[in-house]
Amino acid sequence: MARSAIERRHFCRSAVAGSSLFPALLSQLMADADGLPNAGGVHFEPKAKRVIFLFMTGGVSHVDTFDPKPALTRDHGKEINADHPEIKDRPGYERIYLKRPQWEFAKHGECGTEVSTLFPHVAECVDDLAVIRSMHTSHSNHYNATLGMHTGSFAFSRPSIGSWLTWGLGTENRNLPGFVVIAPRQTYAGTQVYASDFLPAKNQGTLVVPGAEPIANVTPRRELGQQRNELDALHALNSLHLQRRDEDALLRARMASFETAFGMQTSVPDAFDFSGETAETLAGYALQPGQTSGFGWQCLAARRLVERGVRFVELIDTGSSGNWDAHGDMMTHVPLAKNVDQPIAMLLKDLKQRGMLQDTLVVWTTEFGRTPFNNTADAPGREHHPWAFTSWLAGAGVRSGTVYGETDEHGLRAEVDKVHVHDFHATILHLMGLDHERLTYRHAGRDYRLTDVHGDVVNGVLA
């Protein structure tokens, strides 16, 4: 390997490794750690320019939210047989019984899509949604299913969907990361859900933690004009130094990183400064003036980031009231839904009012559903359920006001027009102008892709 390539790799792996700024600091360098460029742009005309990915961690119950099952109410208490991965050889689950939904469903919008009373605000937006009721996945453990929903791999660490998209498409704002993850704390599978793995390090997600300083160490320590003058002087000295070391990639990379860091100092504080937002907008997101936490803050931050050219923003719901893993009590869905319902609806309305929903793809999902049965009909909770769950899409290129796919009458299995996680990913890439079979990266002797060797675009949700 050439000396310059070795030095470049050494810099990228050690200079700022471990910093939350790492992806952005490297995003404008001459090339990635191995000298490879981005994939090279879209394969065909995209419908969407950017993605906001809403992840409800823990497993939202489909039969209590977006997949009405009158037969489940009718047959409440009926004993069934199911070779289910969560109850196989599990003491106390030798017999299982159907358990009715705990919330009522009603039709909403002109399209008449049914939504439960858990999501009254999102229900107002159903005319903009394509609800997929036939999702299924390949694992019933949180770690594996969460990893699969983010990377397409259920057992091994692989690049996340945000990394694939930014590698393929790049960023629209050189002063901001192309891929941002906003979460109060880590979810299942930890940093792997936004890691770039074998893709260039510049394509990993930048973690933003809601609070007074969402990204540490980017607030300018002095007046920007003075700092600009100092950087210009430093650049002039480094340029003289470089004249005698033209092959020194390490020096060139360090010079570029200073400029990118300066750009972030000018752009990041502005992106998270909500003081210019109207009282009406803040109230729509269920925010108080000056508030720097909550899912409403995450949603408003997402809108401001995509406005400024961030390609992929993920919001992970890991609020103070826990996550959606309702083994012990389904009533925990009440505060969880209340926490996200109004902000999500406001995000959709805000994007639409600003003319941004037409080229922004909004994705709502969880890692799996919850069982429509339990070991007693009156058990307060539900177990993990990989056989069926619900996700929805809104915005650019989406056939709005539709429902795609069906589960069986009890919500046990995806039955009509089944959509696996790989199909879900293929569809998201398609809307961004990328062919999931052609977006590949050579690693360890073979070509990898987000969908591995699987996946079909779900044409039924496309406009």
Do 55 and 127 fall into the same domain? yes
Question: Do 313 and 48 meet the contact criterion of CB atoms below 8 Å apart?
Answer: no
361 phi, psi to nearest 5 deg: -100, 120
Count the helix, strand and coil residues of the chain and give each as a percent rounded to the nearest 5.
35, 15, 50
Q: Is 140 a member of any domain? A: yes
Spell out where 99-237 has E strands.
105-108, 113-116, 129-136, 179-182, 206-208
> Hey, which residues does 106 pair with through a beta bridge?
115
> Are 234 and 318 contained in the same domain?
no
Q: Residue 27 falls within a domain, yes or no?
A: no
Is residue 49 in a domain?
yes
C-alpha 321/C-alpha 324 separation (Å) is 9
- Domain count for the chain, please give it: 2
Residues 183 and 229 in one domain: no
Q: Which of 370, 57, 52, 333 is nearest to 188 (CA)?
A: 57
Same domain, 228 and 339: no
Residue 279, amino acid? A
Task: Please state the separation of Cα 12 from the chain's center in Å.
Answer: 25
Spatial separation of the C-alpha atoms in residues 11 and 14, rounded to whole Å:
5
Same domain, 106 and 244: no
pLDDT given for residue 26 in this prediction: 44
Measured CA distances, 36 to 39, 199, 200, 217, 442 (Å):
9, 10, 8, 29, 11
Position 190 scores a pLDDT of 94
Residue 79 sits in the same domain as residue 222: no
The answer to whether residue 31 sits within a structural domain is no
Length of the chain: 463
Q: In this structure, are 195 and 300 located in the same domain?
A: yes
Pick the last residue of a domain from 243, 271, 299: 271
Q: What CATH number did the domain enclosing 308 receive?
A: 3.40.720
Instruction: Assess if residue 134 is contained within a domain.
Output: yes
Calpha distance 174→367 (Å, rounded): 32
The residue range of the domain holding 260 is 1-18+218-271
- The tens place of each residue's pLDDT in the chain, 463 residues long, gives 444 443 444 434 434 444 444 444 444 443 343 333 355 589 999 999 999 999 999 999 999 999 999 999 999 999 999 999 999 989 999 999 999 999 999 999 999 999 999 999 999 999 999 999 999 999 999 999 999 999 999 999 999 999 999 999 988 888 888 999 999 999 999 999 999 999 988 889 999 999 988 888 777 767 777 777 888 888 888 888 888 877 666 676 567 667 767 777 878 889 999 999 999 999 999 999 999 999 999 999 999 999 999 999 999 998 666 799 999 999 999 999 999 999 999 999 999 999 999 999 999 999 999 999 999 999 999 999 999 999 999 999 999 999 999 999 999 999 999 999 999 999 999 999 999 999 999 999 999 999 999 999 999 999 9
pTM of the model: 0.88
Residues 312 and 333 in one domain: yes
Q: Are residues 88 and 113 in the same domain?
A: yes
Domain end, chosen from 205, 236, 271, is at 271
Cβ contact 261:27 at 8 Å: no
Category of 211 on φ-ψ map: left (φ > 0), alpha (ψ -120 to 50) or beta: left
* 209 and 60 fall within a common domain: yes
Strands 206-208 and 179-182: parallel
Domain assignment present for 28 = no
- One domain, residues 373 and 451: yes
Q: Is residue 158 part of a domain?
A: yes
Q: What was the pLDDT predicted at 253?
A: 56
Whether 432 maps to a domain, the answer reads yes
C-alpha span between 254 and 78 (Å, rounded):
67
Same domain, 178 and 264: no
Collect all residues with Cβ–Cβ distance below 8 Å to 284 and sequence separation of at least 6: 342, 346, 349, 350
Return the closest-CA partner of residue 4 out of 251, 272, 242: 251
